[in-house]
Amino acid sequence: MLVLAAVVAIFIYGMIAAMLGTILPDLSDRFQLTPHQNGIIAFAQALGLIVASLAVGPLLDNEGKKIGLILGLAFIAAALALLPRSSGFRSIVILLFLLGIGGGIVVTGANSLASDIDAAHRATALNLVNLFFGLGAFATPFISANLFKQNWVRLCYTVAILAAITLGIQAATHMPPPSGSGRFMLASAGPVLGQPALFLLGLYLFLYITCEVGVWNWLVRHLIAQGIPEPRALNILSLGFALGLLLGRLGVSAVLLHASALNVTLVASIAMVVFTFLMIRTSKPGVAFALVFLAGLSMAPVFPTVLAIVGGAFPRMTSTAMGIVITFGWIGLAVSSRIIGSIAGTDAKRLRTALLVIPAASILMVGLNIAIRFVLP
């Protein structure tokens, strides 16, 4: 039941991670939103993720993971149920902030729960659980393009219902007791906050999320600007990027039984530099699909494997450490969305230039991966 609870929660988070990029073209058309406003909307979701993941770690350690997962899924269901009734730009910003709050709680809680399942093979367990993130992220644009015919209202209601069902599964699952002492003590957090490795791993995740969410939020708009029809662009995102993440995490789970987590993430970072750069330079649908798939395959092991490194480095107050590192990641989401939106301005065709932020961040990841090796406890 612990595995099921972690898997379905990660699946829902995968669905909402792909939600904004999937519905953004239709939201933009309905409310005449500019790329700059799109960036503000993405920033609002990122801000919710930041606030939630920073605050929820102590809650999970001291009150248990169940209460966090139930709370996060309730926020997700409410935000998606209300989004089709939004009246304009401001209400969309508020609801995406609420969706970010829910997502931040769920991703921290589900990964902390998965980290407890098999401490001896933490990296493998986290990659296997997180392949359902890829499945959820695949499902959202695929369902939108092929079943709902870009009906974003029906999509929002469907995911809201699935989030409510997942909430029921969390409520019915018996979970381990809290690992904290009943209240968050700054003195207890000292050994965690005093480790340079924590902040370098956080910076690494900052750069990674900059890349991954840059693809989720902006790829479809970029492909449409290159003349690719919206249904084809959505399928490139789902069958290309999301499927690459899913298959990559499935494949790397076996590799991590024999290879070190740091070496796996180094190879992934190098591959990200190559494939993300080529991905944004093509306007041919077939070539774009192949390169987007390879970019997803390259990114697949990074997020769960970094969290496995955190879990191994910080066996006490694991949720707090994970929450801090994940918070750095969501700051990357916020920064990248604002930068990409600002560079593109009001011209969607300038997204090709703006998306160079992704391979640039991948280059920095390579250097940082080497630096982390010298500070791990």
Q: Where are the domains of the chain?
A: 2-372
- In whole angstroms, give the CA distance from residue 266 to residue 261: 9
Segment 143-154 mean pLDDT: 82
**367 to 270, 298, 338: CA distances (angstroms):** 10, 17, 24
Task: Please state the rounded mean pLDDT for residues 9-36.
Answer: 85
pLDDT mean over 43-69: 81
In this predicted structure, the answer to whether residue 309 has a pLDDT above a threshold of 80 is yes
pLDDT top residue among 56 and 181: 56
Task: Compute the distance between CA of residue 191 and CA of residue 317 in angstroms, rounded to an integer.
Answer: 10
Least confident of 16-30, 108-122, 253-267, 360-374: 108-122
The better pLDDT of the pair 80, 43 is held by 80
Residue 243 CA from chain centroid, whole number: 15
Question: Residues 332-360: what's their mean pLDDT?
Answer: 82
Residue 218 near residue 351, CB atoms below 8 Å: yes
255 C-beta neighbours (distance < 10 Å), count: 15
Q: What is the pLDDT of residue 79?
A: 95
- Residue 183 banded pLDDT, cuts 50, 70, 90: very low
N-terminal to C-terminal alpha carbon distance within the chain: 33
Q: Identify which of 155, 299, 149, 294 has the alpha carbon closest to the alpha carbon of residue 236.
A: 294
Indicate the residue type of 70: I
Which of 108, 83, 106 is CA-nearest to residue 95? 83
* Count of Cβ atoms closer than 10 Å to residue 287 Cβ: 13
Higher pLDDT, 77 or 225: 77
- Residue 191, pLDDT > 70, answer no
Contact 137, 14 (CB under 8 A): yes
Question: Residue range 189-201: average pLDDT?
Answer: 75
Using pLDDT thresholds of 50, 70 and 90, give the confidence band for residue 119.
low
pLDDT above 60 (res 48): yes
Q: For residue 331, what are the contacts with CB-CB under 8 A and spacing of at least 6?
A: 46, 50, 206
Q: Average pLDDT of 47-70? A: 81
**Higher confidence at residue 209 or residue 34?**
209
What mean pLDDT do residues 33-39 have?
80
* pLDDT score of 32 more than 90: no
Could you give the C-alpha distances from 26 to 100, 116, 153, 235, 331, in angstroms and in order? 20, 40, 10, 16, 26
pLDDT at 345 > cutoff 50:
yes
- Share the mean pLDDT of the chain: 85
245 vs 276, which has greater pLDDT?
A: 276
pLDDT at 291: 96
Axis crossing angle, helix 357-372 with helix 196-225, rounded to the nearest 10: 160
Rounded to whole angstroms, what are the CA distances from 298 to 4, 97, 347, 352? 26, 29, 29, 20
The Cα 281–Cα 67 span in angstroms is 45
pLDDT band (50, 70, 90) for residue 186: very low
Q: What is the pLDDT of residue 179?
A: 58
Q: With bands split at pLDDT 50, 70 and 90, how would you rate the model's confidence at 194?
A: low
pLDDT band at 267 (very low <50, low <70, confident <90, very high): very high
pLDDT of amino acid 118:
67
What pLDDT does residue 184 have?
A: 45
Average pLDDT of span 295-314:
88
More confident residue, 368 or 257: 368
The confidence score (pLDDT) of residue 235 equals 86
State which CATH number among 2.40.160.10, 1.10.220.70, 2.40.420.20, 1.20.1250.20 fits the domain covering 2-372: 1.20.1250.20
130, pLDDT greater than 70:
yes
pLDDT of residue 152 exceeding 50, the answer is yes
Say yes or no to pLDDT of 86 above 60: yes
Instruction: Identify the pLDDT of residue 180.
Output: 52
Residue 234 is predicted with a pLDDT of 83
- 192 pLDDT band, cuts 50/70/90, is low
